[in-house]
Amino acid sequence: MKDTLNRYARGEFMYDSPEVTIVSDDLEAQICVGSIQNRELKIAGSHDYVKGIVYSDNPRVVLEKDSFFGVDSVLHYTVNASGLEAGELLEGHFDIVSNAGECSASFAFRIASVTIDSSIGPIHDLFHFANLVQASPDEACHVFARPDFEKIFIKDDMATAAIYRALHKGSNVRMSIEEFLIAIRKKQPVRLKAVDENGAECSDDVIHYGQIDADYKDTIILHKNTWGYVDAPVICDAPFVTADHQNVTSEDFAGNTFELGYIIRKDRLHAGRNYAKITVGTGENAVVRRIEVIRNNESETDGVNQAAQQSTRSQDHIIKLETAVGITQLYIDFRTHRIDVREWAEQSTKLLERAMSQFAHDPLYKLMQAQIYCVEERDEDAEWLLEAVREDVLADTSSIEYCYFLYVNSVHRRNESYTSEVHDILKKKYDYNSADWRILWMLFYLDKDYERNQSIKLARIKELYHAGCHSPIMYLEACAIINSQPVFLRIFDEFERQVINFGCKYNIITEKTAKHICDIGQSERSVSKTYLRILQGLYDRYGSDDILTVLCEHLIRNQMRGSRYFGIYETCILRELRITRLYESYMDSIDSGYDKLLPKVVLMYFSYNNQLNDTQKAFLYANIINYLPDTDPIKLTYAPQMEQFAAEQLRLGQISNNLVILYKYIWNDALINEETAVPVARLLFAYKLTCSDSSVKNAIVLHKELNEEVVVPFIDNVACVSIYTEKCCIAFEYEDGSRKCKSVDYELERLMNIPDSVESVYSLIPDDIFLSVYYYEQNRKYHRTGIDAPGLREKLLDSSKVTEAFEKEILDALIEYYHDRYTGDEFADKAAVLAGRKLTEQQSAYFIEMCVANALYIQAYDTALAYGTRKVSPKRLYRLCRHMLEYGLEAGSPFLTQICWQSFKEKKYDAPMLTYLQNTYNGTCSQMLSLWDACRGFDTECYELEERITAQMIFVRSTSPRLKEVFAEYYEQGAKERVIEAYIGYEAYGCFMQNREADEKIFRIIESRLEYDDNVNDLARLALLKHYSRLELPDDGQKERIMKLLGYFCTRDIMFPFFLDFADKVLLPYKLADKTIVEYRCNPDSRVTIHYKQDNRDDSEDGTDYTSEIMQDAFMGIFVKTFTIFQGGSIKYYITQELNGEKTDTGPQLLTCRQAYVGYSHSRYEYLNDMLKADEAHDTASVERIMHEYCVEDYITKELFKPKY
Q: What is the 3-state secondary structure (H, E, C) of 894-910?
A: HHHHHHHHHHHHCCCCC
Model confidence band, residue 820 (pLDDT cutoffs 50, 70, 90): confident
DSSP-assigned letters across all residues of 973-1023: TT--HHHHHHHHHHHHHHHHTS-PPPPHHHHHHHHHHHHH-----HHHHHH
Write down the pLDDT at residue 930: 94
Write down the pLDDT at residue 871: 92
pLDDT of residue 933 exceeding 90, the answer is yes
Highest mean pLDDT among 332-341, 395-404, 703-712, 997-1006: 703-712
Q: What is the average pLDDT value for the chain, to the nearest integer?
A: 87
Write down the pLDDT at residue 830: 79
Average pLDDT for 449-477? 87
Write down the pLDDT at residue 1098: 60
**Which residue spans within 672-831 are E strands per DSSP?**
686-691, 696-702, 710-713, 718-722, 729-734, 739-740, 746-750
Model confidence band, residue 439 (pLDDT cutoffs 50, 70, 90): confident
Give the span between the Cα atoms of 974 and 971, in whole angstroms. 5
Q: 954 near 8, Cβ under 8 Å?
A: yes
In the DSSP assignment, the letter for residue 151 is I
Give the span between the Cα atoms of 720 and 654, in whole angstroms. 9
Domain ranges of the chain: 18-112, 116-183, 192-295, 669-762, 1065-1200
Average pLDDT for 34-63? 88
Determine the straight-line distance between the first and last CA of the chain, rounded to whole angstroms. 62
Give the span between the Cα atoms of 1015 and 1170, in whole angstroms. 42
pLDDT of residue 77 exceeding 90, the answer is yes
Predicted confidence (pLDDT) per residue in 396-407, tens digit: 888 888 888 998
Grouping H, G, I as helix, E, B as strand and the rest as coil, residue 137 is helix
CATH dotted code for 669-762? 2.60.40
pLDDT of residue 1161 exceeding 70, the answer is no
pLDDT of residue 1027 exceeding 80, the answer is yes
pLDDT of residue 412 exceeding 80, the answer is yes
CATH dotted code for 18-112? 2.60.40.10
Which of 603, 604, 600, 605 shows the shortest CA–CA distance to 579?
605
Write down the pLDDT at residue 1125: 81
Which of 160, 30, 44 shows the shortest CA–CA distance to 96?
44
Average pLDDT for 615-635? 91
pLDDT of residue 1160 exceeding 70, the answer is no
Residue type, 156: D
Give the span between the Cα atoms of 259 and 248, in whole angstroms. 10
- Cα torsion for 823, 826, 827, 828, to the nearest 10°? 160
Average pLDDT for 105-133? 91
Percent of the chain with pLDDT over 90: 35
In the DSSP assignment, the letter for residue 802 is B
Write down the pLDDT at residue 1156: 40
Least reliable range by pLDDT among 465-469, 915-919, 1019-1023: 465-469
The pTM assigned to this predicted structure is 0.70
pLDDT of residue 272 exceeding 80, the answer is no
Model confidence band, residue 83 (pLDDT cutoffs 50, 70, 90): confident
Write down the pLDDT at residue 311: 37
> 739: which strand partners?
733
CATH dotted code for 192-295? 2.60.40.10
Write down the pLDDT at residue 1101: 56
Write down the pLDDT at residue 433: 65
Which of 154, 6, 9 shows the shortest CA–CA distance to 987?
9
Average pLDDT for 466-470? 86
Predicted confidence (pLDDT) per residue in 903-921, tens digit: 999 999 999 999 999 999 9
Grouping H, G, I as helix, E, B as strand and the rest as coil, residue 601 is helix
Model confidence band, residue 33 (pLDDT cutoffs 50, 70, 90): confident
Least reliable range by pLDDT among 5-14, 521-530, 963-972: 521-530
Average pLDDT for 712-724? 92
Grouping H, G, I as helix, E, B as strand and the rest as coil, residue 715 is strand
- CATH architecture of the domain with residue range 1065-1200: Sandwich (2.60)
Q: 288 near 204, Cβ under 8 Å?
A: yes
Highest mean pLDDT among 9-18, 289-298, 551-560, 964-973: 964-973
pLDDT of residue 183 exceeding 50, the answer is yes
pLDDT of residue 204 exceeding 80, the answer is no
**3 state SS for 238-250:** CCCEEECCCEEEH
pLDDT of residue 312 exceeding 50, the answer is no
Percent of the chain with pLDDT over 70: 95
Do domains 18-112 and 192-295 share one topology? The answer is yes
